[in-house]
Structure 1
Amino acid sequence: MSTPDTGDRIRLTRALFPELASELDAALASNGGDRADEFDAWLDGETEALRATSLSSVAFADVLDEAQRDRFGRAFDAARAVAGWVGLEPPQPEAFAEAGADLARLGAALSGDPTLVPVPAPYGLGAAGWRRLFERAAEHEGPLSQPEGGSPLVLANEAEREFALLDRAPSNVPIVRTRAGAETGWTLRLVPGGLAPAVLGLSFEHGPHATLPEMLMLQLMRAASSEPLVDARSFTWLAGALADGRLAARHVYDAGERSVRINCREIGNQGPHLGARPPVG
C-alpha cells in the first residue's frame, strides 16, 4: 500500500478539521503568516496520530459490529506497542483488507468464539529479531521480565538450526509489507488465545497449526496488555515440520523462568498436554 506524501497528509487533515484550519490560517495571516510551516507540520503530525488510531477503524466500520471492532482495536493497539519496541509498525487494518483479508469472515468467527484473538504477525525477523523483541519485553515488569538481563526466548537447537522453516508465512494468507522491498511481511489471522489449547493429547498431524511468529506475537501482545501468558501448563504445536519431516516444534511458557521455550518432538508424539491452536483466516 502506498504511503501518502506530506502534501496529501496536510490536505487530509485540513479536510478533517476545516474550521480549525481556517481559524488558524486567519490568525497566522494577521500576524504576518511567518509560522505557516509550523502549522502545517503540526497538521502533519496530527494526521499520523489519526492514521495510527481512530482512522484505522474505518476498514472495520462497514463489516464489523461494535464488539468485533473493539476486539480488533485492542489487538492492533497491543501489536503496535510490541512492534514499536524495535522500531517496527504493523500495517493498518485497511491494508490487510486491500490485500484480500476477509474482515467480515473474521468478524463472524470472532463472534462465535470468545477465545479467538486477531494477531498481526511479522515474518522475516529471524531468530535474532525475535530475541531482540523478547529482550525488550524483559525490560518491562511482567511475565517475561528478566532482572538479570537476557532474552526470555529460548530455542532448542533443532528450532534454531531450521528457524527459517518456522519463520515462513502461510502460503494461503495475504501478506502485507509496509513499504516496497521491506524484508518483513505481515499476516492477519485469528489465533485461539485460551490459556491452553481447547483439545489436548493431539499429535502434530492434528492441524492446522498456528505459526511460530503468530504464537510469539500473541504472547508479546498479552504481555504488553498485562494479561497472563498462554501455555503455562500446556504445549502448542507450531506449523512447519523440521528434520526432514521427523520433528515439529512446540511452544510452552515456563512461568518459573519467565521465558517462552520452543522445543521439538517427533511428529507422532501425543503427550497429554500437547494441543493445537487452529488459526482462522
Structure 2
Amino acid sequence: MAANTTDLEKRLWDAADELRANSKLKSSEYSVPVLGLIFLRYADWKFTQAEKELKDKGSSRRGISASDYQARSVMFLPEAARFSKLLDLPEGADIGKAINEAMKAIEDENTQLNKLETTTEAFARTKIWDDAVEAILSSPNRPNRPQAGSLGLQEQSLPSQADILAHEGGLGNCSRTLEGVGGVLTEEELAIFDLLTKPQIELSQVEQKQVKQVAKELLTILKTEKLVLDWRKRQQTKASVEVAIKDILDRLPESYSIELYNQKCQEVFQHIYESYNGKERNISES
C-alpha cells in the first residue's frame, strides 16, 4: 500500500508542477477542478467495487437498484457520471460541461448529498481544463486507483447496536391477532400481511402460510437490525431498510409477478416509513 500511495503522490505532484509551469492560474484556483476530478475517480472506484459484489445478488424478480449501493455507503453513479465517460471524451470536447453534468447526475441519484457545488463552472472555458485533464487523466500516466486512506476518506458503517431502537413489549404486545394457516400474527405483522394480500390476491393455503412467514420475518429483521435511531434522516440507513424489504419480499410465492412484487415493495416501505419514525414507538403500539 505504501508504494501505491507514494506513486499516487508523485503523480499528483508532477501534475501540479505541470499546471504551475504552463498556466497563468494560481494553485488555489486550479485545485478546485482538480479535486473535482479526484472526487469523481474515487467515487467511481467505490462504485465499481460494489458493482462486483452485487453482481450475483439479485434474482429474476428482485433487481439491483440505487438503494443497494447506498445501503453499502456507496454513491450510486449513473452512466453519465462514470469516470470512463470522461476518459473517452473526444479531443476538443467541452470537458468542463461534462464534469458539471456528471456532478449533477450524482446529486440527482443520491438525495443525501447537499447540492454539490459546481466546481467547474468558472473553469469550463479556460485552458486549465485541458491542462488538468492532460496531466491527470492521460495515458500512460493515469493514476492507479486511490486507496481509501490515502485521500483521507473513511468508509461509513451502519450505526452501532447501541443505536438500535428499543420497542417496548416486542412483537407480542399487540392485542389484535390473526390465527389460521401459518400461525398467529400480531397486529404489526398483520398490517404487513394485509399490505401483501390486498386487494384480494388469490392464494392457496400453502401460499398464505408463505406470506405470513414473510410478514413475520420482515418485521423481526427490521425491528432488530434496521430501524436504528433516526433511520429516516440518513440515506444509508433508509436504503438499508429498503434493501431488507426487497430481499425478504423476494421470498413471496411465485404467483407474485415482477410488477406486483415491485408494487408491494413500495407499499411496505411507505408503511414502514410512516409508521416507524425512529424516535418513538410505532403507531400501532400507541
Query: With structure 1 as the length reference, what TM-score do the two structures score?
Result: 0.29
TM-score of the aligned structures, taking structure 2 as reference length = 0.29
Largest Rg, 1 or 2: 2
